Structure 1
Amino acid sequence: MTDIDWDHPNDPKTGWALDHVKQYVSSNGAEGQHWNGTQTLLLTTVGRVSGNPVRTPLIYGEDDGRYFIVASYGGAPDHPLWYKNLTAHPEVRIQVGPKIMQGTARTATPEERTAYWPLMVKHWPSYDEYQAKTDRVIPIVVIEPKDA
């Protein structure tokens, strides 16, 4: 893959997600990591069509140095664009509070999904509602940061 300009990603165009990203970045993670009673990170993927970095705020869980995000898309019938991007290009960047890390993302195995779904529902109980309203199995993504 060509060199990615990770430091200049495309952010959401409008709305709460754009406001959330701006707050997170401008405060170096001091504001925005804690949001609506849960915790969020900023995920930067490589656009599968454009090849440009794209940044998205997402709820996360953590275990044993790995980070977990849920490709719920509110229970929509299709996967979110960020998930489609990382399945095409698994190298990602995340910002968790002030810490910025490169990593590799992959879809959790069925066993991992079963194990980590309750953890993610503790962070955002609506995930169970989202799963109930769609026929697709909502993926959990595992992000493994690269060694510093």
Structure 2
Amino acid sequence: MDFASTTRRLGRTRWFARLGRAVSGFDRRLQKRTGGRWSVLGRPTLPQLILTTTGRRSGQPREAVLLYAAVGADWVVIGSNWGQEHHPAWSLNLLEHPAATVTLAGVATPVTAHLADTDERARLMPILLEVWPGYDDYAARSGRDLRVFVLRPVERT
């Protein structure tokens, strides 16, 4: 079994989610400094991006490292918050300010986010579950519908 498969299997457990929450800030800084080449777990084997949103209260930039699925030219992310009962702050920020930035392999791309509607969410969830099967467990633990966002690159004129 390869590293990514093992990580996906362990990702379904409560202790892994607690560990993920504990190291997420350090992981974000490490990925930013290395242009996405390194993560807390070593070289990233799962698709990860840095999402920069605008704080809904502060107006300041806020960063989160997220797993994603590429769907055409778009990136799709899910607000799992490691299975906690509340939505992650970045998802609240996107609802308030849908203009954001995706940084992938050190390249920053402006995006506009939208919350997937019911049909779009149903189509995207299997794709997200291929990336991280633990999302089903996180939804069950949290007791909430996990928000799915589509991040569409802004066309430059």
1:18 aligns with 2:21: no
Map 1:78-93; keep pairs closer than 5 Å: 78-93=86-101
Indicate the residue corresponding to 1:131 in structure 2: 139
Secondary structure of the structure 2 residue equivalent to 1:38: coil
Q: Do the aligned partners of residues 71 and 131 (structure 1) sit closer, same or farther apart at CA in structure 2, a change above 3 Å counting?
A: same
CA distance in 1, matches of 2:33, 2:117: 35
How far apart, in 1, do the equivalents of 2:36 and 2:85 lie?
32
Distance in structure 1 (CA, Å) of the matches to 2:75 and 2:132 = 15
User: Percentage identity across aligned positions?
Assistant: 27
Structure 2: how far apart are the matches of 1:17 and 1:100? Answer: 20
> In structure 2, how many angstroms separate the alpha carbons of the residues matched to 1:44 and 1:97?
14
Compared CA separation, residues 34 and 71, structure 1 to 2 (3 A):
farther
Deviation at 1:31, TM superposition (A): 2.3
Q: What is the alpha-carbon distance in structure 1 between the residues aligned to residue 155 and residue 141 of structure 2? A: 38
SS of structure 2 residue aligned to 1:50: coil
Alignment pair present for 1:39 and 2:51:
no
- Distance apart, 1:73 and its partner CA: 1.2
TM-score by length of 2: 0.78
- Quote the Cα distance in structure 2 between the aligned partners of 1:73 and 1:27: 24
Residue correspondences, number: 134
Residue by residue over 1:43-92, the C-alpha shift from the partner in whole angstroms, topping out at 9 and shown as x without a partner, is 01100000000011011111110001100112222211110011001110
More helix by share: 2
- Structure 1 unpaired stretches of 5+: 1-13
Give 1:107 shift. 0.5
Shift in Å, 1:142 = 0.4
Whether the 8 Å contact between 1:34 and 1:40 is mirrored in structure 2 is no
SS in 2 for 1:122: helix
5+ residue gaps, structure 2: 1-20
Residue 38 of structure 1: how far off its partner (Å): 1.5
Q: 1:85 and 1:125 mapped to 2: Cα distance?
A: 25
Q: Which residue of 1 aligns with 2:65?
A: 57
List structure 1 segments (4+ residues) > 6 angstroms apart after TM superposition.
Answer: none
Q: CA RMSD in A?
A: 1.9
Q: What is the letter of the counterpart of residue 124 of structure 1?
A: W
